Homo-oligomer: A and B are copies of this chain.
Amino acid sequence: MIDKLITKIKKTHAPIVVGLDPMLSYVPEHILQKSFGEFGETLEGAADAIWQFNKEIIDAVWDLIPAVKPQIAMYEQFGVPGLAAFEKTVSYCQKKDLVVIGDVKRGDIGSTSTAYAAGHIGRVKVGSREFTPFHEDFITVNPYLGTDGIKPFVEICKEEHKGLFILVKTSNPSSGEFQDRLIDGRPLYEWVGEQVARWGAECMGTSYSAIGAVVGATYPEMGKVLRKLMPKSFILVPGYGAQGGTGKDLVHYFNEDGLGAIVNSSRGIIAAYKQEQYASFGPEHFAEASRAAVEAMKADIEGALEGEK
């Protein structure tokens, strides 16, 4: 799957992932009215609204990008119908040949991690049959529980040719509270990064490992160090756009081959029509505003990477 992701990045010239993190407040009124008209103001209605919203955005941007990253919390908040909309979104994106990174940040131990891995990137056995419930291509995973918590995911990645992005240095303001604390003179995130490289060595694709890392765009100096510590790990970079990161901040997340990172933008793309610069599209044409925002992001990152050459 990491090889597919790389092929698609090269083809689209876009090391970009669109975060499908729909809040109901992003969904234009005409979609809400239609969904609530059909299902009422219910969890089913909310789930239908975010699914219709996603579908229109995917239809507008799929040819420009290699991958999407649905944030499961935004679906899970609507309970069982919300999770059905999550699965529907994953399926629809895969039909458009997009790589799907499930931003699930799961993490537990032993048989529990195995269960999460089975449900999200593997298979679950029921009697004599097998199912792939949420079937993402990659998922994000939390490392706080150590190797016991990660290994079950890595095993299933090997079997199913799927991948992980493990949280190393997150983009939020307080991420340093624990992640930056010094252990034998080096911050915790470096120790985690070294383990990512080690776990990843077992799971190599052609040039990169299927086991990547999450490193926030908001900490470019740390990104530079981590890039060198995990030379074969792809870095998923949140925090671009709405959280404050710019193309220039991102150059050090890439290797000299121009690969090694994929930059996420969520709100900046999917709610573009709410920003002043795309307001002229209007709520009716929100998906076209998203397409324009993807094109602008692509240009910003391409420009920054070109400037480095």
A residues apposed to B, CB below 8 Å:
21, 23-24, 32, 36, 41-43, 45-46, 71, 73-74, 76-80, 82-84, 87, 105-113, 115-116, 118-120, 124-129, 131, 133-134, 142-149, 167, 170-179, 181-184, 188, 191-192, 195
Q: Is the CB of A146 within 8 A of B107?
A: no
Q: Is the CB of A79 within 8 A of B116?
A: no
Q: Beyond the given A78-B131, A109-B170, A142-B144, could you list 11 further A-B residue pairs with CB under 8 A, ordered by the A residue number? A: A21-B112, A41-B128, A43-B133, A46-B126, A76-B119, A77-B116, A77-B119, A78-B133, A145-B175, A146-B174, A148-B175
* The 3 nearest A-B residue pairs measured at CB: A79-B133, A146-B177, A41-B127
Given contacts A73-B106, A79-B119, A133-B77, contact A146 B172 (CB under 8 A): yes
Q: Is the CB of B115 within 8 A of A76?
A: yes
Contact of A129 among B41, B173, B175 (CB under 8 A): B41
List, in ascending order, chain B residues with CB within 8 A of A181's CB.
Answer: 183-184, 188, 191
Q: Is the CB of A172 within 8 A of B148?
A: yes
Q: Is the CB of B127 within 8 A of A45?
A: yes
